Amino acid sequence: MHPASPEGPESPASPAGTPRPRAVVPDLARGVMLLVIALAHAQVLSAGSTAGGALGRAVAALHTIFIDSRGYPMFAALFGYGVVQILARRGLDADARAARRLTRRRGGWMVVFGLFHSLLLFHGDILAAYGLLSLVLVAALRSPDGRLLLHAAIGSVVGALVFGVAALFIPDGSEAVSDPWLSAAYRVVGWIVSTPLFAVMAAGPFLLGIWAARRRLLERPERHAASLRRTAVVGIAAAAVGALPLAALKAELWPGGPAVALAAATALHTLTGVAGGLGYAALLAVLATRIGERRGALVTALLACGERSLTCYLAQSLAWLLLFEPYFAGLGRALTPQAAAAIGLGVWALTVVLADALRRTGRPGPAEALLRRLTYGARPAGQRAPGARAHLDGGMHA
C-alpha cells in the first residue's frame, strides 16, 4: 500500500489477532455531511421557486457557497478512505489479488444498489458512481503516493471541467412528471447518463481519500493537528471564494452572460468544492480531537448515523419521493429556498434519530446488513466478520 506519513511509515493493519477499533472521525464526518447532502437535495428538488424575498436570496447564495458540490467530494474521499480501512480490517491490505476481488465485488453490488435506488426513489443517485470507481480504479490501491496524488489532481480538474460543460445541458428540474411509471423510467435513463459523470467528478477525491487513509489522518487526527487545521482553513476559504462567480450568476448580478461564463463558473465552483469538502472533513477531525471521549447524546447519535450512512442516505431519498414527487405530496414548486432548507434539516434530523434508535437496540442499518450479506455471503449464526462489530463493514464508505 506504500503507507507513509510525516512521522514515518504507518501500516493500517493492526497486530495479528488485534482488531483495529472503528475510527470515530470518518463516522462523525459522514453523519454531519449527510446534512449537507440533505440541504443540497432539498434545494435541487425545489428549484424554480423565485419567492422568498431577501431571506430567500440569502439562503440561495449561502447554499451555492457552502453546500452545493461540497458534500459529494467529501463523501467520495471518505469512500476511498473506507475502502482502505475495510481491507485492513480483513487483513487484505497486503494481498493484492484478494483486495481487488473484494473491492470489485462490493463495487458491483453498489452499482446494483444504485440502479434500484434510482428506479424506486431518487434521480440523483451517487451509489452507482462509487461502485463504478471501485471497479475501475481498484488498481490505485497499489499505486505509489506520487502517482496517486498526480492522478487525483488530474481527476479533480477533469471532473470539474466535464461538469462545467455538462451543467449547460442538465435540466433545471422544473418539469415534473406526474405519472409514477414514467417518472421511474426517466430516473433510470438519467441514471445511465449521470453515473459515469458523477464517477468522473468523484475520481479525484476518491484517490485523495486512499492517500489520506495510508496516513490514517482521520484515525489519528491528534498526530496531524496542524496539517488538518491548515486544510480546514484553506479548503473552506478556497471553496467560498471559488463559489462567488456562480453565486453572482445565479443571483443575476451578471444577467445575460454567455454560456461559456456559466460553464467556467460551474467548473471553478466544482473544483474548489473538492477543497471545501476536504476542508470540512479536516474541520470535523479537529473538532473530534477536542471532543475526545466526552461524547454527549448528539455526538453519539451523529456517530450512529455515520455508521449507518447508507441506510440514512436511502431514507432521505424515500422522504424526497414522498415530499416532492407530484404523485405524492408535490411540494417542490411551492417551497421558498428557506422552506426547502428547513425541510432538508428536518429530514436529516429524522434519519439521525432513526440511526440512534438502531444503535440503542444494537442493530446495523438494514441497507448495510444487506450489502454486507451480498458481498461476503451468509455466516453461521453467532459468527461475525473478523475483528468487526455487527455493522462494521456497512455504510457508504465502501
Closest CA to 159 of 113, 101, 200, 205: 200
Burial bucket for residue 342 (CB in 10 Å: 0-12, 13-18, 19+): middle
pLDDT digits (tens, 9 = 90+) for 348-362: 999 999 999 999 999
Query: Tell me, what's the pLDDT at 331?
Result: 86
Any domain includes 174: yes
pLDDT digits (tens, 9 = 90+) for 327-346: 999 887 778 899 999 999 99
Query: Tell me, what's the pLDDT at 260?
Result: 87
Any domain includes 393: no
Domains in the chain, number: 1
The SS3 assignment for 219 reads coil
**pTM of structure:** 0.89
Residues 6+ apart with CB under 8 A from 154: 204
Average pLDDT over the chain, rounded to whole?
A: 86
What's the rounded mean pLDDT across residues 153-168? Answer: 95
Contact 278, 73 (CB under 8 A): yes
Any domain includes 195: yes
Any domain includes 74: yes
Decide which of 19 and 25 is more confident: 25
Contact 288, 25 (CB under 8 A): yes
Query: Tell me, what's the pLDDT at 333?
Result: 72
**pLDDT band for position 44 (cuts 50, 70, 90):** confident
pLDDT digits (tens, 9 = 90+) for 274-301: 999 999 999 999 998 888 777 889 999 9
Q: What is d(CA 108, CA 98) in angstroms, rounded to the nearest whole number?
A: 15
Any domain includes 8: no
**pLDDT band for position 50 (cuts 50, 70, 90):** low
Return the axis-axis angle of helices 180-215 and 259-291, rounded to nearest 10°: 60
Q: What is d(CA 140, CA 210) in angstroms, rounded to the nearest whole number?
A: 8
Residue 271 has pLDDT above 50, yes or no: yes
**How distant is the alpha carbon of residue 147 from its chain centre?**
24
Query: Tell me, what's the pLDDT at 173?
Result: 54
Contact 398, 85 (CB under 8 A): yes
Any domain includes 151: yes
Q: Centre a 10 Å sphere on the Cβ of residue 151 and count the other Cβ atoms it contains.
A: 17
Range of the domain at 297: 24-376
Q: 27-31, 137-141, 364-368: which has the minimum mean pLDDT?
A: 137-141
Any domain includes 84: yes
pLDDT digits (tens, 9 = 90+) for 76-112: 999 999 999 888 877 766 677 888 899 999 999 999 9
Any domain includes 392: no
C-alpha cell at 374: 451480498
